[in-house]
Structure 1
Amino acid sequence: MAGSIRNDGNTWYYILEIGRVNGKRRQKKKRGFKTKKEAQKALIEAEHAILQKGMYHEPAKTLYGEYLKSWLDDKKIIVKDSTYKIYHWLIHKHIIPYLGHIEISKIRPNDIQKLYNELITNDLLARENVQKIHSLINDSLNKAVKCDLINRNVASLVDRPKAYKSELSVWSIQEVKLFLNNAKTSRYHIAFVLALSTGMRQGEILALRWKDIDFSKQTLSIRQTLSHTGNKINTGAKTKSSLRNITLPEETINLLIKHKKAIQSEKRLADILYNDNDLVVCTNVGTPCSPRNLLRTFYSITKQSSVPRIRFHDLRHTHATLLLEQGTHPKVVSERLGHSNVRITLDTYSHVLPTMQVETANKLNSLLFN
C-alpha cells in the first residue's frame, strides 16, 4: 500500500494505492485540499482506515442536508425543547441552504469557511450564533465519522469563529427604583422585584412555587423552569449549578407575603375554576403566565418610566452589577446567579472591575496611611 501527495495548480490531492481487485490495479484519489499538510493528514487517515478495517471505506453519497435532518431528529430526544428549536432554526435557516446540496463526503473545509464568512460579512447572525453553527457542523460530522459515513471531519480543520462581547446594558439604582415604583400596580410587580433582587432568569421566576420559598429562613430554591413558549414546566434548571438557593432581602419577603394574600384571594374568587399549580407568578386562575405578556408589560412600564430600554434578562445583569459595585464578593454573586464557576462571573462583569480596583486602592490608602 502506497500513497503520494500532488498539486494540480490550485489545490492539493492525494493518490492512494489500495491494491489489486480481480487482477486490476485500484487507486483512490481525493482532491480539494487547500494545503499540502491537509492532504498529507487525509492520506494518513485513509491508510489507517485500510489497516484497521482491511479495506478502504468508500464515503457515503448522502446529501449533507438529508443527513442533517436525520441527525437533528436524533438530537431532539436528548436536548431540551428550547435548545432543539435553536438547533432547528440554525440548521434549516442557515446551514442547509448553504451546504445542504453537497454530498456529505464532498464537503471541504473551504465550503464551511465560506459559510462563516457569508454570515459574518453580511451581518446575518450574531457572532455567538455563528459559533453555534460551527459547533453543530462539527458535532454532526463527528457523528458521521463514527457511523462510517465519512473518513474524517473536515470541520475540525476550520477555525472556530471568534465572538466579541457586546457591552452589557444595565440600569442604575435610581433607574431601578423609578421602574419599580411605576410597576407597583402591575400584576407582574413581584416578578420584576424577584428579577432585580435575586438575579433569577425569566423561566425560573415564572416557574417558582410557594413551596420553594422558606419564609422563616428568607430563602428560595430554584428547582424548575418555564419554557420560553410558556406551555411547559421543566423539572430542573438550565445547568446543574442553576439548581440553587438564594437568600432574599427582607423587603422582598414582605412583598411576597403581600402577593401571596392577593393570590389566595383570587383562588377563593375563582373557586372550582382555579388551577392550583402553586405558582408565585400566575394568572388569576392559577395557570402559568405567558412570557410574552410579561415582556409586553415590562417594555410598557419601561417606556412609562422613561428609563433606558433593556431586555428582561438585563435585570439579571443589573442585579449582579449593583452587587459588585457595592463590594459584594464575586463568589457570592456567582452563587446567586447559578454560574458554574466564579470565572464566568468575573468575565461577564469585567466592566465593573476597574471601579472595584479604584475603591480597593482607596480603602488600602485609608488603612495604611491614615
Structure 2
Amino acid sequence: MPVYKDPNAQNNKWYYSFSYKEGGKHKKKLKRGFKTKKEAEAAMVEAKDAMNKGSYVEPSKTSYGEFMITWLEDKRTSVKESTYLTYKNLVNNHILPSLGNIQLGKITPRDIQSLYNSIKIDEKLSSENLRKVHTVINDSLNKAAKWSMILQNPAQLVDAPKVIKKEVEVWDQDDIKKFLKVAKGSRYFNAFLLALTTGMRQGEILGLRWKDVDEENQTLSIVQTLSHKGQQLSVGAKSVAGNRRISIDENTLKELIKVKTTQKKEMIMNRPVYNEDNDLVIRTNTGAPLSPRNLLRSFYSCIEKAGVKNIRFHDLRHTHASLLLKQGVNPKIVSERLGHANVRITLDTYSHLLPNLQKETANEFGKLFYGNN
C-alpha cells in the first residue's frame, strides 16, 4: 500500500500517495498529516473509491479564514445571539490565528491537533471552551465537506478534547441561613432566593415576568431569558428542556408578591424616567432589566458580610440540586426542575453526592427487609 511515514513531520506522521489517470493525463494524489498508518490507509481508500465512482472532490483553495466568515454569518441565523458571540470570539481569537491562512483543502488532522495542544499547554482556554473550539471546527468542516469543498472532514480524525469537570461548590443549610439573613436587606434578595429555592439559571431569573408567575398553582414558567451582558431579553430558555414549569413553595411565593407593591410605587414615583415596562419580577427602580454585573456585585457583597464560603452565583443552582438529592428526591424530578436535557446530565454533575445517597438507601432497605430483628 502506498502509505508512508513523513520524515519531515513531527513524530513522523503518516501520508498517502498514489498515481491516477484523468483526462488521459497521469496525475499524483498526496495527502499528509495522519496520526496513524491505519488512518492514512482509510483516507486513501476513500479517495480512490470516490475517484472510481466519479465523485472525487478536488479540495477548495479557499482559505479557512474566508470560509469561516460565511460560516459564522450562516450560524447566526440558527443559534442564539449569545451562542453566536461565543463562536465568533473563539473563531477570531483562537482558531483563525492558527488555521485561518491555510487552504480548506490543505487543513490536516495534525494542524487541528497542534492548535488544541497549544491552547491546552498555554492554558488559553478552559477545557469546556477548548471542547467548544473542537465543536466549531468540526461543524464548519462538516459543512465544507457537504458543500463538496473538501473530500472529508479532517477534524473527525482528531479526538475531541476532554472536559475536566470542576468540583461543584455548594452551601449547607447553615451557610444559606447566614447568607439570606444578610441578603434580606438587598434589593435583589428575591433573585438570590429564587436561585436557591428553584435552581433557576441567572438569565432565567432576570428574564422572569410577572405573567409567568402562577400564584394560584404556585408555579413559575421559564419562557424568557436575559443575556449574560444584560442587553437582550430572548424568548426561550437555554435549551428545549429549559422551557419548563417549576413549582415553588408558599414562602418563596409570598416573598415575590411583596415586591409587586414596591414596584407599583416605584412606577408612580419614577414615571418621568420609567423605562418601558417589561413586566420583570427582578428589575431596576426604573423598570429596566437588571445588569448581571450589578446582581453579582450585590451577591458577593452579601457573601462577604455573611462570612460564608465564597461561591459563584451559578453554585446557588448546584446548592438547590444538592439539597433535593440529599432529601431523597428522585433525580428525574431534580433534572426536570433544573431544565437538564436528560437525567444523565444531573447524575454526572452531582455524582459526588451519590455514594452517600446509596448508603442511606441501603440502610433504609435493610430496615425494611430485615425488620427490627
Partner of 2:241, secondary structure, is helix
Which residue pairs with 1:129 in the alignment?
129
Deviation at 1:11, TM superposition (A): 4.4
Q: TM-score, normalised by structure 1?
A: 0.93
Deviation at 1:7, TM superposition (A): 4.7
Which residue pairs with 1:364 in the alignment?
365
The superposition leaves residues 323-357 of structure 1 with CA deviations (integer Å, 9 ceiling, x where unpaired) of: 11122221221111111222211111111112212
The superposition leaves residues 131-171 of structure 1 with CA deviations (integer Å, 9 ceiling, x where unpaired) of: 11111111111111112221111111111111221210111
Partner of 1:29, secondary structure, is strand
CA gap 1:31/1:164 in 2 versus in 1, 3 angstroms? closer
Which residue pairs with 1:301 in the alignment?
302
Deviation at 1:272, TM superposition (A): 4.9
> Which structure 1 residue ranges, 5 or more long, are not aligned?
none
- Structure 1 window deviating more from structure 2 (132-141 vs 12-21): it is 12-21
Q: Which aligned pairs between 1:91-170 and structure 2 lie closer than 5 A?
A: 91-170=91-170
Which residue pairs with 2:30 in the alignment?
29
Decide whether the 8 Å contact of 2:33 with 2:109 is kept in 1.
no
Q: Please give the alpha-carbon distance, in whole angstroms, between the structure 2 residues aligned to 1:329 and 1:37.
A: 46
CA gap 1:41/1:273 in 2 versus in 1, 3 angstroms? same
> Which structure 2 residue ranges, 5 or more long, are not aligned?
none
Which residue pairs with 1:326 in the alignment?
327
* Counterpart among 12, 15, 24 of residue 13 in structure 1: 15
**Percent identity among equivalent residues?**
54
The superposition leaves residues 92-146 of structure 1 with CA deviations (integer Å, 9 ceiling, x where unpaired) of: 1111112222222222211211222222223222111111111111111111111
CA gap 1:12/1:189 in 2 versus in 1, 3 angstroms? closer
Q: Please give the alpha-carbon distance, in whole angstroms, between the structure 2 residues aligned to 1:18 and 1:289.
A: 65
Q: Please give the alpha-carbon distance, in whole angstroms, between the structure 1 residues aligned to 2:119 and 2:277.
A: 47
Deviation at 1:70, TM superposition (A): 2.4
Q: Please give the alpha-carbon distance, in whole angstroms, between the structure 1 residues aligned to 2:115 and 2:66.
A: 18
Q: Please give the alpha-carbon distance, in whole angstroms, between the structure 1 residues aligned to 2:195 and 2:17.
A: 62
CA gap 1:352/1:36 in 2 versus in 1, 3 angstroms? closer
- Structure 1 window deviating more from structure 2 (10-19 vs 60-69): it is 10-19
Q: Please give the alpha-carbon distance, in whole angstroms, between the structure 2 residues aligned to 1:18 and 1:81.
A: 47
CA gap 1:11/1:218 in 2 versus in 1, 3 angstroms? closer
The answer to whether structure 1 residue 194 and structure 2 residue 207 are counterparts is no
Q: Which aligned pairs between 1:203-242 and structure 2 lie closer than 5 A?
A: 203-242=203-242
The superposition leaves residues 64-96 of structure 1 with CA deviations (integer Å, 9 ceiling, x where unpaired) of: 222222211221121111111111111111111
The superposition leaves residues 242-290 of structure 1 with CA deviations (integer Å, 9 ceiling, x where unpaired) of: 1111111111011111111111111222235433211111111211111
Decide whether the 8 Å contact of 2:32 with 2:108 is kept in 1.
no
Deviation at 1:291, TM superposition (A): 1.0
CA gap 1:364/1:105 in 2 versus in 1, 3 angstroms? same
Aligned residue pair count: 366
Q: Please give the alpha-carbon distance, in whole angstroms, between the structure 2 residues aligned to 1:328 and 1:38.
A: 48
Q: Please give the alpha-carbon distance, in whole angstroms, between the structure 1 residues aligned to 2:255 and 2:35.
A: 64
Q: Which aligned pairs between 1:279-294 and structure 2 lie closer than 5 A?
A: 279-294=280-295
**Counterpart amino acid of 2:15?**
Y
CA gap 1:57/1:343 in 2 versus in 1, 3 angstroms? closer
CA gap 1:306/1:49 in 2 versus in 1, 3 angstroms? same
**Counterpart amino acid of 2:3?**
I
Which residue pairs with 2:62 in the alignment?
62
The answer to whether structure 1 residue 339 and structure 2 residue 319 are counterparts is no
**Counterpart amino acid of 1:157?**
L
The answer to whether structure 1 residue 246 and structure 2 residue 246 are counterparts is yes
CA gap 1:147/1:363 in 2 versus in 1, 3 angstroms? same
CA gap 1:35/1:324 in 2 versus in 1, 3 angstroms? closer
Partner of 2:270, secondary structure, is helix
**Counterpart amino acid of 2:184?**
K
- Structure 1 window deviating more from structure 2 (232-241 vs 29-38): it is 29-38
Q: TM-score, normalised by structure 2?
A: 0.93
- Structure 1 window deviating more from structure 2 (341-350 vs 32-41): it is 32-41
Q: CA RMSD in A?
A: 1.8
Which residue pairs with 2:50 in the alignment?
49
Runs of 4+ in 1 over 6 A off after TM superposition: none
Deviation at 1:185, TM superposition (A): 1.4
